[in-house]
Chains A and B, each alone.
Chain A
Amino acid sequence: MQEGEQILITAVIPTYKREVWLARSVNSILEQGLSADELEVIVVNDSGEPLAEAPWQSDPRVRVLTTYRVERCVARNLGAALSQGKYLHFLDDDDYLLPGAYSQLLDRAEQTGATWTYGAYNLVDDNGRQIGDTMLPWVRGRVFALALAGLAIPGGVSLVRRDAFFEAGCFDVEMLVQQDTELLQRISVLGATEYTRGVVANYRTGVTEVSTTKWSRSDKMGDMKKEKAFIMPCCVGEIELCFAERERKEVRGKLVRYYLGSAARHTKQHAYLTALSRVGIAIRLALRGLLFPIFWAGLRGKS
């Protein structure tokens, strides 16, 4: 792979001992109709053991790397570091793209220059049957405040600009779950988010026991993700910027609740000064919402 003619998309798929699903996932990318000049697929095999031979491995667009039981984020960062593409696409090994996904996402991303472009997706069970409604996208522009308030956009339905990904500092390896949302938090500060309404991927859901994901840690991670945002120097400014673009009183209320929650946690850990500064920011944010019932609903967690 040489510089010059730039590759458009690098798909990064970390995998751990799920080769049946993996083949489906890789093939769904190879069948998107992009040539070897436009697409590369980096499979990071984290099991430390060689993969069984499969037809997709002989495709010139595919590259397999082996790591030895590192966290998923480390594997993804590795794929990104070795990538050449203008956009990065992080797919999990048990999820797969639908036909035409890349062309829709690429069109939108190239048109708007957004740092993060995403589409709709379905949740499916092990037999590929759809569970529930299609998850439709609904936000664009500056989304930091929403990302902090819990907006979850999976990496598998998103194209992320490579330069922004590195500027934001890659996936945070401390995050054992919710890595995508935490990354969105940091990337949303660097530019706009865009969406396309087409359904781009099927997400397999339900079975967690074969996964290397540490679900048991997920409650701690939620708090950690918030703290990581709170200590960003631009945090309050960026929240106000988002609300200046589009005011959402219920989100404002939710953020005030998060700030107060953080204050309570810090008080418990005897970090009184940090707790005080969180309360200060909570009050500052609350001032513009006090008169609206929907703000109070958000604050109480009933929105």
Chain B
Amino acid sequence: MRRNATILSIVVAVVGIAVVVFSELSGVSWPRIIGIVLISLGGIGVGVAAGLGDERPGRWLGRLRDARVAIGVALAIVMVLPVVAALAGAIVGFFSALGSGLNPAVVTGGGVIALLMLVAALGSVWIAVRAIRRAATPAGVPQEAAAGEERA
């Protein structure tokens, strides 16, 4: 029963993807929502069937878990790199934009926003990488609880 549900869900998702591909390549946009719905239902079906099943998470999921630090660090860098490039570009562009007749106050505001966002993006990568690496460190022996009032 569950196996059939999984197969059906996969089929539904694949049909949905095919519909989306057809819609995009043919330029007929109305079938796209049908494809989206099918993809969503198929994904939910696969997930629910696997989640409610008795099987332990597959070996590939175990591997995913084992490689979580490497994957996490790589993703953190790859996902943020483009936005860092854009913000760096904004800071470079800020100086030429200043003399181009645009409102200098707004341009300066833009430069400041770019700088802050750049710091936020780089800071996020730094925090996330540290957090991911720290999370993989064994927790060790439980520590005695310190009194809240003393800690405060």
> Do these two chains interact?
no
Partner-A contacts on B (CB < 8 A): none
Partner-B contacts on A (CB < 8 A): none
